[in-house]
A and B are shown apart, each in its own frame.
Chain A
């Protein structure tokens, strides 16, 4: 029984740490984008390294959680979904890392007039994913509150779409001074930032279904 309790406690700690890593990754992502737009490359590299560490930790924790749940047959009825949720959340931090990496590798030239909009885009997209974390935590402790928490995810996701559309319109319709290749590159970067909120929405859809199932 003692071994059993220890496994359970360790698993709960692992899940919490995993969610902490994803949450921290999103915070660092915001700061990373800001420092890139401020042309503070030293800070940007520091943030990128931090994200890489967090993503690596999240990967390890995800494997450990999956392993424990299967070997000790924990939550047999919900295991598959919990593992899938961890997978979706891991994809978010993966996307955060790859976005910063793309920026670091490609060094896109961002017109200063777009700075404010891009910060707003990164903020909103990260907010959508951030709001997912309390909902995911609530799934384990108060599943009947999950759906109300998820409303914010859907709100920020739609806001992200609107902001992204406006920026793209602005780039392609108003900014005559930059060439098409540059425009396409900026669109590509915007798409990357935007994808974080899309992934958050995908995870929210899954979590919403999981919450209904567990409350019923």
Chain B
């Protein structure tokens, strides 16, 4: 049953992988600089690593907004957010998983009679606006830097492009890592307070309950990338490639930096140490940050045709998505609680807030299933990578043979 409850989060993760992977590898794949298979493998591994290693920061902030204290509630919220994302995407409206999940959590707070922490909420909403602005700023600075380097070194265009190609892979991997670290909170954040899995000892290291959840979420995002992101990358990626290749790389790097900043506790601590205000660890929308980055470069290059319609749609999305998701979550919770008699959560005692959360503790058999499931997925992933490498090798051999044959015939 516990595993069933996780499915809505996994579905949300899948849709995130399918849509948002294009933000990190879309430009590289859309311009055919990197093959989709290679991009999918790199992005999948990086997204899982980001989720497991650095996913807790943004997730804790969502926990502060609303500590979902029943797994039925977590299931319903993730489902409501996923449906909102699906419906809005269907109607071609700009949508962010982050905003959907925040709306759903507020819906849960209202339903269960919990108050919403306005401080945390304002922190989150501020980053929705500051994220794209920071992205634009980073993009302009990086763009100036890269153009200066290009001009002063007078590098051959083909050499420069080869560096850009390598850069797109490295930056794409960093982007996928940051996406996993920052956006895993949207996928699994609502399950963290509600579900307590036994620590999983993997020999070299062990995974805590939240890390196991993030690992599952990471797998779901990876599945979304592998199964459904190709089309999105090839179409949406093409729009980004209208920039030059160095512009595309800068956009991905700037977006990755923003996502990384909003999910790195180390960076936040560093700012505190040097006397600056800390960066809140909040999930931000990668799609909206990337729009900010592209517009930043556009403004720097003196483009006058800024797409105000797109900006307006994003601003509407900031309000419409959480409202829709919140309403859907509220009615879904009502439905699940009263029709299926499933516990969706209750009011948290403000005085003893932390002790009042009753997380479902999974039994040993569930932990055993989780363990085998994880091993199974890891082995399947490894086999897929080996298969891919063999396929690439065969392709290269065929290509070499055909080249040799061609030149032999020419002679």
Contact = CB atoms under 8 A, between A and B. Distances in A.
Interface of A: 1, 4-5, 8, 11-12, 15, 60, 63, 67, 71, 73-78, 139-144, 214, 216
A67 B301 CA distance: 34
Given A60-B410, A67-B403, A73 B159 contact: no
A140 B33 CA distance: 18
Give the interface centre of B158, B245, B410 by most chain A CB atoms within 10 Å.
B158
**8 closest Cβ contacts across the A-B interface?**
A140-B157, A8-B162, A76-B32, A76-B31, A73-B32, A141-B154, A140-B156, A75-B161
Contact of B159 (A8, A60, A71, A77): A8
18 contacts: A4-B162, A4-B166, A5-B162, A8-B162, A12-B156, A12-B158, A60-B410, A63-B410, A67-B403, A67-B406, A71-B399, A74-B161, A75-B157, A76-B31, A140-B156, A140-B158, A141-B156, A216-B244
Interface string B66-91: 00000000000000000000000000
A141 B165 CA distance: 18
A5 B165 CA distance: 11
Contacts of B166: 1, 4
Main secondary structure of the interface of A (DSSP, over half): helix
A12 B156 CA distance: 8
Contacts of B245: 77
Give the interface centre of A1, A5, A141 by most chain B CB atoms within 10 Å.
A141
B137 interface: no
B236 interface: no
A144 B241 CA distance: 21
A67 B402 CA distance: 11
Contacts of B154: 141-142
Contacts of A140: 156-158
Main secondary structure of the interface of B (DSSP, over half): helix
B155 interface: yes
Give the interface centre of B33, B157, B165 by most chain A CB atoms within 10 Å.
B157
Contacts of B241: 77
Given A67-B403, A214-B244, A216-B301, A75 B158 contact: yes
A1 B161 CA distance: 14
A63 B403 CA distance: 11
Nearest to A143: B157
Contacts of A67: 403, 406
Contacts of A11: 158
A8 B410 contact: no
A140 B154 CA distance: 9
Contacts of A60: 410
Interface in B139-182: 151, 154-159, 161-162, 165-166
Contacts of A144: 151
A71 to B, nearest CB: 6
A60 B157 CA distance: 22
Contacts of B162: 4-5, 8, 74
Given A67-B403, A141-B154, A142-B154, A76 B33 contact: yes
Contacts of B410: 60, 63
A102 to B, nearest CB: 27
Contacts of B156: 12, 140-141
Contact of B155 (A73, A74, A78, A141): A141
A214 B243 CA distance: 10
Contacts of A216: 244, 301
A142 B156 CA distance: 8
A40 B305 CA distance: 64
Contact of A77 (B151, B155, B244, B406): B244
Give the interface centre of A1, A60, A74, A214 by most chain B CB atoms within 10 Å.
A74
Contacts of A15: 158
